[in-house]
Amino acid sequence: MWSAQDVAQHQVRRQANGLDMAAVAEKVAEAAARERKTAEQLRRGGSFSEFQTDPERLAAIWAAKQVEWRRVRDLMSQAGWGVYEPERDTEGSTWAREREERCEGALAARVAFESRRREKADEVRAELWLSAAPSRLIREVADRAGLVPAQVLAQLAERVVVGEDGTVSVPPFTPSR
């Protein structure tokens, strides 16, 4: 669900909290080394069993981490911060909020999808062929009620009563919109 950039920004923001400039510089160097290593392994077709992940994605994440660590380093240098504090990083905070909103939106969409899927599983769709006489009656009732025949049949089905002996009946009713 998250892009390589999202993963990098989230992890760097979390890991950088409280680090001083020297520690951040080490992280920049580490990310550069890991980016080179994963790019080399990708070119050679080497194993990435360390994370059991897609090699191209891992290489993209390390490249994005290097960019993000450099951004944090430059921000600290320009702002004169002794240590990195995520809440003071307005750009990083904006990205974090946007990621959260996207995640919440995706989760809400998934919940709605699952709900629709469950409802659909409970639905019954039927194609009904009636002889001429019952068909004329249904059309006539539908016309008088301002409905289409399928709506009248749906209302009939909603009112079905099954007796103890298995008989099926529909109490009298007037179809309505």
Are 27 and 16 within 8 A, CB to CB? yes
Rounded CA gap, 32 and 27, in Å? 8
Give the model confidence (pLDDT) of 41-91 as tens digits. Answer: 888 876 655 555 677 888 899 999 999 999 999 999 999 999 999 999 999
Q: Which tokens sit at 135? A: 């068909």
Ordered by start, the domain boundaries in the chain are 4-122, 132-169
Res. 174: pLDDT tops 90: yes
* Cβ-count burial 12-38 (b if 16+ within 10 Å, e if not): bbebbeebeeeebbebbeebbebbeeb
Could you read off the pLDDT of 134-167 as tens digits, one per residue? 999 999 999 999 999 999 999 999 999 999 999 9
pLDDT tops 90 at residue 38: no
Partner residues linked to 83 by β-bridges: 20
Phi, psi values for residue 80, rounded to 5°: 75, 30
Computed on alpha carbons and rounded to an integer, the radius of gyration of the chain in Å comes to: 32
Rounded mean pLDDT of 24-51?
82
pLDDT at 152: 94
User: How confident is residue 39, by pLDDT bands cut at 50, 70 and 90?
Assistant: confident
168: helix, coil or strand? strand
**Cα angle at 60 between 55 and 64, to 5 degrees?**
150
